[in-house]
Amino acid sequence: MSWSKLKQQLDGFLSPALIGRVEYRAPGYRYLPDKSGICYISIDKKNVLNMSDKTNPIRWYQTELEIKNDPDIQIPITNDDIEAVRKDTKGPVPEDRLIVIARSRKITEHAKELLSAQASLSKSNFIALANKYLSTSIEESIESNDILLNVLALVDRRVGKKRILNLSEKIKLKHPIVQYFYELRRNTL
């Protein structure tokens, strides 16, 4: 599908409150088949998401340790997580220590997922992912680990106010760019 047709379809799915604010741009085109084109998403004429540029205002993590030390990331710990640690330790461990171990395990797993999603975003082709988005359901796009699919779903008009508000807990575990677009959409409700 040509860029102009794809852009037209993506614009057609934009939430009415974001029309004129969110814009998909492709200033460069693909000349080599193994190289992705330059595409980005801008909000209010300001480039917010350029997949290969780490200089945008959104936080990009360089290491797993950076994610673990980020105070903005809140990982909920369930009783099942604590019980799993209790079974693994096979001995008397103080309750507060079990919570620390469970949190450490969950944040390590979360850090690996975030770095993986970030790496795949920088290597991805916007046009291929946008075509995938148009052919999959909104639920799949929201639940996906792919950052770009999450962003496209959040600005979609088919995601209503109730669903946006119900996503608040899930979004806390997503990449900061997804959180940024979630806040943008939530503020337009």
22 forms bridges with which residues in the sheet? 19, 43
> Which among 126, 119, 183 is positioned nearest to 149, based on CA atoms?
126
Taking CA atoms, 178 is separated from 117, 144, 160, 162, 170, in Å, by: 11, 12, 17, 18, 11
Contact 125, 81 (CB under 8 A): no
Per-residue pLDDT, 173: 85
Report how far residue 183's alpha carbon sits from residue 171's, in angstroms, rounded to the nearest whole number.
10
43 forms bridges with which residues in the sheet? 22, 46
Average model confidence (pLDDT) across the chain: 83
Element (H, E) at 22: strand 22-25
> pLDDT digits over 56-95, tens only?
556 667 778 888 888 877 788 889 998 899 899 887 889 8
Average pLDDT of the residues in 111-138:
79
pLDDT above 70 covers what percent of the chain?
84
Q: pLDDT class for 27, splitting at 50, 70, 90?
A: low
> Which among 79, 112, 75 is positioned nearest to 98, based on CA atoms?
79
Per-residue pLDDT, 113: 84
Q: pLDDT class for 46, splitting at 50, 70, 90?
A: confident
Per-residue pLDDT, 80: 92
Average pLDDT of the residues in 131-147:
92
Q: Is the pLDDT of residue 29 over 60?
A: no
Residue 156 DSSP symbol: B
